[in-house]
Amino acid sequence: MSIWRTEVTPQLLERFSRGTFAERAGIRITEVGPDYLRATLPVTPAVHQPYGVLHGGVSVALAETVGSVAANLCIDMERQQCFGQEINANHLRSVASGVVTATARPYHIGSRSQVWGIEIRDEAGRLVCISRLTMAVVQRRETAS
């Protein structure tokens, strides 16, 4: 059974990313599973730290991107939205090139908060970074016309 409140495809989610940080960084949603969302990021010099490997902050940005998109797909987006409250990460292995893949899965999907676990792996399937993301679920405010 799917956890998503709406049917989505990677192509639809890619359209929402146009003009955002995710697009500029090269983050692409590649797979929507029944209980996970997957995204990729090419590891190029543009996302390196000065020592020639993937910048830890970019790993965190990738984790927050895929986790945030996933969280918002689990709510009634006409009435609610999710915002990141806290994220942590453990960097386990360096990567200098290739593509990393982030997979977000929920630990908790509640009416006021969500907690997501995100694993980032290299092309050999080795764990590069693990992250936990806590999202606040808030009611949308009506905008003044």
Please state, in angstroms and rounded to a whole number, the distance separating the CA atoms of residues 57 and 74. Answer: 26
Residue 145 located in a structural domain: no
Share of the chain above pLDDT 90, in %: 86
Residue 1 located in a structural domain: no
Residue 132 located in a structural domain: yes
Catalytic residue among 64, 86, 119, 142: 64
Domain range holding 49?
10-139
Residue 2 located in a structural domain: no
Residue 63 located in a structural domain: yes
| Residue 14 bears catalytic tag | no
pLDDT at 126: 98
The alpha carbon torsion through 121, 32, 21, 116 (nearest 10 deg) reads -70
| pLDDT beneath 50, residues of the chain | none
pLDDT at 15: 82
Spatial neighbors of 114 by CB under 8 A, at least 6 apart, are: 71, 74, 82, 106, 108, 134, 135, 137
What's 48's DSSP letter? B
* pTM of the predicted protein model: 0.94
pLDDT at 127: 98
Q: What is the pLDDT of residues 36-61, one digit of tens each?
A: 999 999 999 999 999 999 999 999 99
What is the secondary structure of 18-71 as a DSSP string?
TTSHHHHHT-EEEEE-SS-EEEEEEE-GGGB-TTSSB-HHHHHHHHHHHHHHHH
Q: What is the pLDDT of residues 22-31, one digit of tens each?
A: 999 999 999 9
Residue 94 located in a structural domain: yes
pLDDT at 144: 60
For the chain, the domain total comes to 1
Residue 120 located in a structural domain: yes
- CATH code at position 115: 3.10.129.10
Residue 4 located in a structural domain: no
What's 78's DSSP letter? T
